Structure 1
Amino acid sequence: MLRRRNHRGSAVVDFVLVLVVLVPLFLGILQVGLVLFVRNTLANAAAEGARHGAALDRDLAAGEQRTRSEAAGVVSGRFTRDVDARLVSLDGRPTVEVVVRARVPALGLGGPGIDVVVVGHAVEESP
């Protein structure tokens, strides 16, 4: 005689097994998205700060300040750890280089983070 199996509760077990795989995958995708967003925003802020600092009659401190304000306007200022502007020579031309260092925590909640370093360049204008 064949017994009929009771499948009551099996949907809950299937749901938990699927969640064990999907939740870490979803959180990993969110983390990658956050890191890429912060990196792209900081790269844009560094490039804008370098252009601002390289403009005629502007100094490097103006470029640093512009970079900080651009970064703080989009992502929280807590990500940005250090902004450094200096004059370098690229291909024999005086160039303003802005380096931004940041640490992006896991999902923006704290804990261990990922170090991000971006650099922006702009050729210095001369009269």
Structure 2
Amino acid sequence: MAPGDKGPQGGSRAAQPDHESGAAVADFVMVTMLVSFIFVGLMQLGLFLHTRNTLIASAAEGARMGARADASPADGQARARELISEQLSSRYAESVDVGSEIQGGVRVIVVRVSAPAPIIGPFGPSRGLSVTARAFAEAQ
């Protein structure tokens, strides 16, 4: 209705009680909560991906270090722990395992990292992260 139009009982619309007073406040609260949950979810995803990518890069660097001709696999393990501790936290570097395998007739250094998943609130994966990196050993 346009302003000044008569309502169904013949009175003006301005004289009738407004049944939607306060609806803007309720809408604002509901939309704000929805946007907040989406923001927290995106922060959770970003933190998880950052942690995962950092663990992958650190494990790969550790595998390359352990595969050098003048280094041992234990050097690669130490390098991976050092990088993870510097970039994330020492609690993420507690489970760094190194070993060697033969793949296709070539000796390969393998670094495995298991770490807790970063969680904001009750959201996030229920199990931790596990990444593996491999590098061909220079000394065959």
Bigger Rg, structure 1 or 2: 2
- Call closer, same or farther: CA 1:97–1:108 in 2, change over 3 Å: farther
Q: Distance in 2 between matches of 1:96 and 1:72?
A: 21
Report which of the two has the higher share of strand: 1
Q: Distance in 1 between matches of 2:139 and 2:72?
A: 12
Task: Using structure 2 for the length normalisation, give the TM-score.
Answer: 0.79
Whether the 8 Å CA contact 2:47–2:118 is kept in 1: the answer is no
The CA deviation at 1:78 is 1.9
Task: Using structure 1 for the length normalisation, give the TM-score.
Answer: 0.87
Secondary structure class of the residue paired with 2:115: strand
- Higher RCO by CA contacts (8 Å cutoff, separation 6 or greater): 1
Kindly report which structure 2 residues correspond to 1:41-52, keeping only aligned pairs within 5 A, or say none. 41-52=54-65
CA RMSD between the two structures = 2.3
Does 1:25 pair with 2:25? no
Structure 2, unmatched stretches of 5+, are: 1-10
Whether the 8 Å CA contact 1:31–1:106 is kept in 2: the answer is yes
Whether the 8 Å CA contact 1:105–1:113 is kept in 2: the answer is no
Comparing 2-11 with 47-56, greater Cα deviation is found at 2-11
Secondary structure class of the residue paired with 2:116: strand
Aligned length: 126
Q: Distance in 2 between matches of 1:108 and 1:34?
A: 12
Does 1:59 pair with 2:91? no
Q: Distance in 2 between matches of 1:36 and 1:94?
A: 31
